[in-house]
Amino acid sequence: MNYKLLISIAVSLLIARWRQTLVAAIGVTFSITMFIGLLGFMSGLNEMLDGLVMNRTPHVRLYNEIKPNPRQAVDLLPAYQHSWNIIHSVKATGSREQLYNSAAIKAALLADHRVAGIAPKITTRAFFNEGNVDITAAIQGIEVQQESRLFHFNDYIVAGNADDLELVSNSIILGKALAEILLVVPGDVVQVTTVSGEQFPLKVVGLFQSGLQEFDKAQSYAALSTVQKLIGKTADYITELQVTVKDIREAPAMAKEFEQTFNTDAIDIQTANAEFDTGSFIRTLISYAVGVTLLIVAGFGIYNILNMMIYEKMDTIAILKATGFGGRDVQRIFLFIAVSIGVSGGLVGLLLGFLLSLAIDQVPFNTTSLPTITTYPVSYDVILYLIAGAFSLLTTFLAGWLPARKASKIDPVIIIRGK
């Protein structure tokens, strides 16, 4: 079989109807361009939102939840073990927020090959004194180096330096929204009253902005040792361990394992952010649905053009068959026409889609709630371009297959007799 001859005939048919060919190719180009632009923007948006929430969330969080003992004293009495014991308004007693035996837990986690890193943390409530008004906020005691390495803490500092928490004694970093309420800037001193009534002066060494306004109104950060001093605890006191794992997909199973092994409460990132993950999935699904719809519409355009080409070239097809070309040869000619439209339109569409993404990436996007974002977020993930190229070829092939099959079944005798 002479493929070179078949390609030459297909090119001749394409040139003979170059306007219709150009329209079909432009349809594919437009679809691919919008597919890349839309998916790149939506993927970039999802990555940005993931950064705001997921980057600050440990893969597994170990802590002690304050809750009543499920086994009450009455259940321990032999006389009542086989009875239904109904107790109302059970209060939590004998439990505490401190993570028991934290040093041994940290050592065990660091020895686990699945763990990428751990960061201890203390969370306590306090009152920031603003004149006669007390503003309630949380103070997070952290190890700055670990927090920055595992959870990008340093990226969210908009004023000052995160390392100063460790270098300056009795220092604090306030959420930017909280600092605006207190009317303080780095270098000022704030008065903090703990839940036990003790007052401490803390020097503001920086401002933190996560992009979540309500979160920044009620959060502040201090060194682990500073918070231990505030609440009058020893150096081994922590309320939770934040764990990052090498494979995030193992987090749910590891959380259950750690909960049983260390006798603590544990929650994984998927459970903690289930609603957020659902929102990201739905946004991505809608984007793909719109992009695929554009490609299918372009495919119908190619289908109609090839159908018209077959109708107008009946005599040419009849002559090809009469001179020895088989039905498969004719089918290959029209499939080559369809695929060549898809390839040429797809390649140009990929290039224009990349240029469109670059253009979107340069559009200024300034908002006080997201200081680290200066332009609209765009993803340049190679997988988007591979998906677009594959859909382009698949759509155009399917659009050309039915007309090509129709052309291969044309009876040359009937066509020539009709002429």
SS3 string, the chain, reads CCHHHHHHHHHHHHHHCHHHHHHHHHHHHHHHHHHHHHHHHHHHHHHHHHHHHHHHCCCEEEECCCCCCCCCHHHHCHHHCCCCCCCCCCCCCCCCCCCCCHHHHHHHHHHCCCEEEEEEEEEEEEEEEECCEEEEEEEEEECHHHHHHHHCHHHHEEEECCCHHHHCCCEEEEEHHHHHHHCCCCCCEEEEEECCCCEEEEEEEEEECCCCHHHHCCEEEEEHHHHHHHCCCCCCCCCEEEEEECCHHHHHHHHHHHHHHHCCEEEEHHHHCHHHHHHHHHHHHHHHHHHHHHHHHHHHHHHHHHHHHHHHCHHHHHHHHHCCCCHHHHHHHHHHHHHHHHHHHHHHHHHHHHHHHHHHHCCECCCCCCCCCCECCCCCCHHHHHHHHHHHHHHHHHHHHHHHHHHHCCCHHHHHHHC
Supply 265's token pair: 């409460």
Name which residue leads in pLDDT, 111 or 401. Answer: 111
- State the residue for tokens 């355009």: 301
Q: Are 298 and 33 in contact, with CB atoms under 8 Å apart?
A: no
Mean confidence (pLDDT) of the chain? 80
Name which residue leads in pLDDT, 376 or 76. Answer: 376
Q: Are 24 and 384 in contact, with CB atoms under 8 Å apart?
A: no
Q: What pLDDT shows up at residue 282?
A: 79
Q: What pLDDT shows up at residue 311?
A: 65
pLDDT at residue 260 is higher than 70: yes
Quote the percentage of the chain above a pLDDT of 90.
5
Mean pLDDT of 188-200: 87
Closest-CA residue to 154 (of 200, 207, 203, 76)? 207
Q: Can you give the pTM of this predicted structure?
A: 0.63
Q: How far apart are the C-alpha atoms of 129 and 178, rounded to whole Å?
A: 12
Q: What pLDDT shows up at residue 414?
A: 62
Q: Are 56 and 151 in contact, with CB atoms under 8 Å apart?
A: yes
Instruction: For residue range 2-56, list pLDDT tens digits in order.
Output: 667 777 777 776 676 677 777 777 877 888 888 888 888 888 877 777 666 667 7
Instruction: For residue range 250-259, list pLDDT tens digits in order.
Output: 888 898 999 8
Mean pLDDT of 370-382: 78
pLDDT at residue 383 is higher than 80: yes
**Four-residue CA torsion sign, 227, 239, 182, 56:** positive
Mean pLDDT of 195-208: 88
pLDDT at residue 173 is higher than 90: yes
Q: How far apart are the C-alpha atoms of 290 and 39, rounded to whole Å?
A: 9
Domain positions in the chain are: 3-54+276-418, 58-68+94-270
pLDDT at residue 375 is higher than 70: yes
Q: What pLDDT shows up at residue 310?
A: 65
Q: What pLDDT shows up at residue 98?
A: 79
Supply 133's token pair: 């008004």
pLDDT at residue 369 is higher than 60: no
Residues 6+ apart with CB under 8 A from 358: 378
Q: Are 389 and 353 in contact, with CB atoms under 8 Å apart?
A: no
Residues 6+ apart with CB under 8 A from 187: 203, 204
Q: How far apart are the C-alpha atoms of 15 and 212, rounded to whole Å?
A: 58
Q: How far apart are the C-alpha atoms of 316 and 321, rounded to whole Å?
A: 9
